[in-house]
Amino acid sequence: MPQDEASLIPDEPIPFSEMCSIIHSRITTFLAETPADWNCTDKEKKRLENVQAQTRISLRVIEEALEKYSLDELSLSYNGGKDCLVLLVLYLAALHSKTLKSSNFRPTSLECVFIQSSDPFEEVTKFVEKTSRQYNLNLSRYSAPMKGALTDYLQEKPNVQAIFVGTRRTDPHGTYLTHFDRTDHGWPDFMRIHPVIDWHYVDIWTFICHLKIPYCCLYDQGYTSLGGTRDTHPNPKLLRIKLPETIENGKYTHLPDIWKNTSKYRPAWELMDDEEERLGRDN
């Protein structure tokens, strides 16, 4: 999805309730679509149908969490990556659904925790800052190892009892997770909620592209899993071609004009295989 396409929400911040309403409406429209509405191949239509099914499951998990916990007891782990971005959009849609059912439920922002890498990409930092404003996120930032950062966060936010996490089944330590899991012994105690645990890599990108959700620009440069600058590289499976060309700042040079402004790597959403997602990560 080219980043200049019309996006899900405006670049400039709008009232929280209006933003949730826009997102809810778009997702409701998507869930009502049928294959006859999609101008694409049969394979792509099947993929969209799978994403519709996963979206319904995820929304039910989020709605269950909103029944179990008050809003001030919930937080979202947000780092600007593709998975938590999908989770964020689904969460905002679910919040609007709850406002339709309860006249007393009128949130104005969203509690989030951002645990930043020790060697962050500037592009990721800027994207988190921009989307924090766009989506009205009350973002608490930490630059520390995960366990210590979460310990500090929960001490500073004692109301928080559960945190939405964008972990998927193929992520490290994701194999045996369910939708609701308490933290393991030795970790600060809270409920981890995994609404997108059973989404595949291709599902994430199908959702992002179909709903035109703005994403971090690194994904257009071949990155498929974002960590820190020292352990994250473009995915070798997305390398376009191997030629004896000169590469300067990731761009082709000394080639016909049609190639000069082309990234050496294809965008992240062209990868299909879950098992290849982390080939650009050193750990």
Place of tokens 């929304």: 59
What is residue 151's predicted lDDT score, i.e. its pLDDT? 96
Q: Which residues pair with 232 in a beta bridge?
A: 281
Place of tokens 């689904």: 90
Query: What is the average pLDDT value for the chain, to the nearest integer?
Result: 90
Give every residue of the chain whose pLDDT is below 50, as ranges. 4, 244, 258
The residue among 216, 200, 191 whose CA lies nearest residue 58 is 200
What is residue 252's predicted lDDT score, i.e. its pLDDT? 54
What is residue 248's predicted lDDT score, i.e. its pLDDT? 58
113-131 tens-digit pLDDT: 999 999 999 999 999 999 9
β-pairing, 162-164 with 191-193? Answer: parallel
pTM of the model: 0.90
The residue among 8, 68, 42, 53 whose CA lies nearest residue 213 is 8
What is residue 3's predicted lDDT score, i.e. its pLDDT? 52
What is residue 262's predicted lDDT score, i.e. its pLDDT? 59
24: its two tokens:
């809810």
CB 199, CB 54: distance < 8 Å = yes
